Amino acid sequence: DGGITQSPKYLFRKEGQNVTLSCEQNLNHDAMYWYRQDPGQGLRLIYYSQIVNDFQKGDIAEGYSVSREKKESFPLTVTSAQKNPTAFYLCASSISGRNTGELFFGEGSRLTVL
Amino acid sequence: AQSVAQPEDQVNVAEGNPLTVKCTYSVSGNPYLFWYVQYPNRGLQFLLKYITGDNLVKGSYGFEAEFNKSQTSFHLKKPSALVSDSALYFCAVRDMLGDSSYKLIFGSGTRLLVRP
């Protein structure tokens, strides 16, 4: 079945540690996105990528980094510079960032900083 | 800048009754509007979208939404609620990015609780 796979589903991290969240899609979609979800705040865009080897900052990119070395993969690293990293992280994709269609989401990764 | 607002944090309705989840938008140009649903600790699932055409849009699981340009609203509706409809609902609007591509801007979400 086609879809978006995020791992791990739950992750605990000590302060000062970097952590990488995986996002893989087999939908052959060009565009991929990372959103952060906090209670009562909806979803906020962290980074997005329209094509391989290219990505752009979203609204809250500070303390995060990404790579897009393959079309199907868009990992997110939460660095120690992120002041409040505890959140639910959602990866999404779309056929192209230039169409009008919907985004397809993964199941999310919940990061808790201890 | 494009934005959407969901004025209700929670909506309570009895099973079998009609439900409405409200969304208002603010855009420059023609709006591209979406509704998503999220179950606990899950990703978002697409319900429906309005791009152009009929003001009443039908979507998944018996949901529909009414686009009202004069009131800048895009309310989600269902004629008869089910307990299984209980979830978090997000309204979203398409926003243009600097490189001519798009992202979605989401509202803060409305929790729907359907009681038996």
Rounded mean pLDDT of chain B? 93
Distance from CA of residue B98 to its chain's centroid? 25
Q: Identify the pLDDT of residue A86.
A: 94
Q: Name the nearest CA neighbour of A6 among A68, A72, A62.
A: A72
User: What is the arithmetic mean of pLDDT over A97-107?
Assistant: 80
Using the predicted structure, report yes or no on whether residue A95 has a pLDDT greater than 90: no
Of A42, A92, A110, the CB nearest to B108: A42
Nearest 5°: the CA angle B91, B34, B24 is: 45
* Residue B62 backbone phi and psi in degrees, to 5: 85, 5
CB B89 within 8 A of CB A26: no
Q: Which two tokens stand for residue B32?
A: 């591209």
DSSP secondary structure, A63-108, as one string: TEEE--SBTTB--EEE-TT-S---EEEEEEEES-TTSS---EE---
Q: Identify the pLDDT of residue B95.
A: 87
pLDDT tens per residue, range B23-52? 999 988 889 999 999 998 899 999 999 998
Chain A contact probe: residue of B101, B104, B105 with most A CBs at under 10 A: B101
User: What is the arithmetic mean of pLDDT over A8-29?
Assistant: 94
Tell me the chain B residues in contact with residue A48 when contact means C-beta distances shorter than 8 Å: 97, 101, 103
Residue of chain A whose alpha carbon sits nearest to that of B6: A42
The full length of chain B comes to: 116
Query: What distance in Å separates the CA atoms of residue B43 and residue B53, rounded to the nearest whole number?
Result: 29
Query: What distance in Å separates the CA atoms of residue B30 and residue B8, rounded to the nearest whole number?
Result: 25
- The burial of A21, by beta-carbon neighbours within 10 Å (0-12 exposed, 13-18 middle, 19 or more buried), is given as buried
Query: What distance in Å separates the CA atoms of residue A65 and residue B67, rounded to the nearest whole number?
Result: 38
